[in-house]
Each structure stands twice: as structure tokens, then as C-alpha cells.
Amino acid sequence: MKKLLLTGFEPFLDYPVNPTMEVVKSLSGTVVNDYLIHGEILTVDFSKSGEQLLEAIEDVKPDAVISLGLAGGRHKVTPERIAINCNDGPEDNNGWKPNGEKIFPDGKDGMFTTLPIDQMAERLKESGLPAEISNTAGTYLCNNVMYHGLYYMRKNELTIPSGFIHIPASHALAIEQRKLPSWSQEDLNRAVELCVECL
């Protein structure tokens, strides 16, 4: 059986919960589309999160990698097209505030996902779940982790699919935060399963 590494993030900034953690907890250990899902929760820390992903890739030796992040304010599930070689944004959970530095000095400016994002977005819509491809994963930890995965695959000449999907807030998070569009946790879990079915 093939293995999928599925990552989520711990809570960060003023979000007291992160629905990606719940998706990973629910799907870890299950089998979807002949992939046994191995879940990992990453910290929100510019000095650690990328390394955590790479360590998990080396431990698990997956056949595909999907990382998940919360995009509070987005209405749809958004598979990401590209990661850029830049760290920027607010303070991370360790109090570090980046200022536009490169993630890898020898890295390309940008790298495209190797996940089937067109099929993923179509599959979600056919199943009644709002989705669209996003052309920016931002410059915070989600972009950082996506870039780490793609950089590693390229450097090690691995052709396994790797990339990132941003998801909206869950209802549990929207109860805590004003004016956030939200989905039920069940729909978020289902959306990620449908994406895995496209691998």
C-alpha cells in the first residue's frame, strides 16, 4: 500500500484553534484511494516547521505529500499553485518576525506544486464543495513549508507529488472569531479526502 504524508499546523496568531489539526487527526491512520495516511502536526516557527516536514518525509518515505494550512477569511478550499522563496509576515509562535528573507539562498524564486490541483478543484466542485486554485500561498509558514517540500523533492530528484492546500475556518473557530466564513469540520475532512482521491 502507498503512503501519504498529511500535515497540519498548530494554532497561531489570534486563532485559538486550527482546523487543519482536526483534519489530520481524523484522517491519520485511515486509507483513502489506496494511500495509508500518516498525519503530522507542524509548529508555526520559521526556524523549525520546514525542517519538521523534511524529517517526516525522511521517516515516513511517503509516495505523496499534502500539507494543509488555515486561510482564515477564505470561503473556499484552495489548492495552491506556487510557493515562493520568501519569508515574510507577522511574528511566528516563537516571536520571530521575518522580513522578506530567502528561504533557501540557492533556491529558485518560485516552484510549482506537483499535486493534481486542477482535478482536485474540479472534484470538490462536482461533489458540491466550493473550491478554486489559489495563485498565492502568501509568505508565511504555509508558503515556507510548501517551498521546503518542493525544494527537497527537486534536490533529491524525487518525483513524488508534493504541495499545499489552504482550507477555510471551521465553525469551531468562527465561534471564537468575528466575521470569519466557516465550514463544518465534516465538510473540511471530506474535502481533503476528495483531494487525496485525485492522487
Q: Which residues are identified as catalytic?
A: 80, 142, 166
Residue 79 or 138: the one with the smaller Cβ distance to ligand PCA is: 138
- Which residues, 6+ apart, have CB-to-CB distance to 105 below 8 Å? none
Asked whether position 164 contacts ligand PCA by CB under 6 A, the answer is no
Asked whether position 115 contacts ligand PCA by CB under 6 A, the answer is no
Binding footprint of ligand PCA, residue count (CB under 6 A): 12
Restricting to residues 36-95, name those near ligand PCA by CB under 6 A.
44, 69-71
Burial class (CB in 10 A: 0-12, 13-18, 19+), 156: exposed
Binding-residue pattern over the window 6 to 35 for ligand PCA, x denoting contact by CB under 6 A: ---x--x-----x-x---------------
Asked whether position 138 contacts ligand PCA by CB under 6 A, the answer is yes
Say if strands 64-70 and 2-9 run parallel, antiparallel, or are unpaired: parallel
Say if strands 182-183 and 78-79 run parallel, antiparallel, or are unpaired: unpaired
Per-residue cell: 150: 518542493
Residue 20 or 85: the one with the smaller Cβ distance to ligand PCA is: 20
Residue 18 or 162: the one with the smaller Cβ distance to ligand PCA is: 18
Whole-number minimum distance, CB 51 to ligand PCA, in Å?
16
CB burial of 176-199 (b: ≥16 within 10 Å; e: otherwise) equals: eeeebebbebebbbbbbbbbbebb
- Residues binding ligand PCA (CB under 6 A): 9, 12, 18, 20, 44, 69-71, 138, 140-142
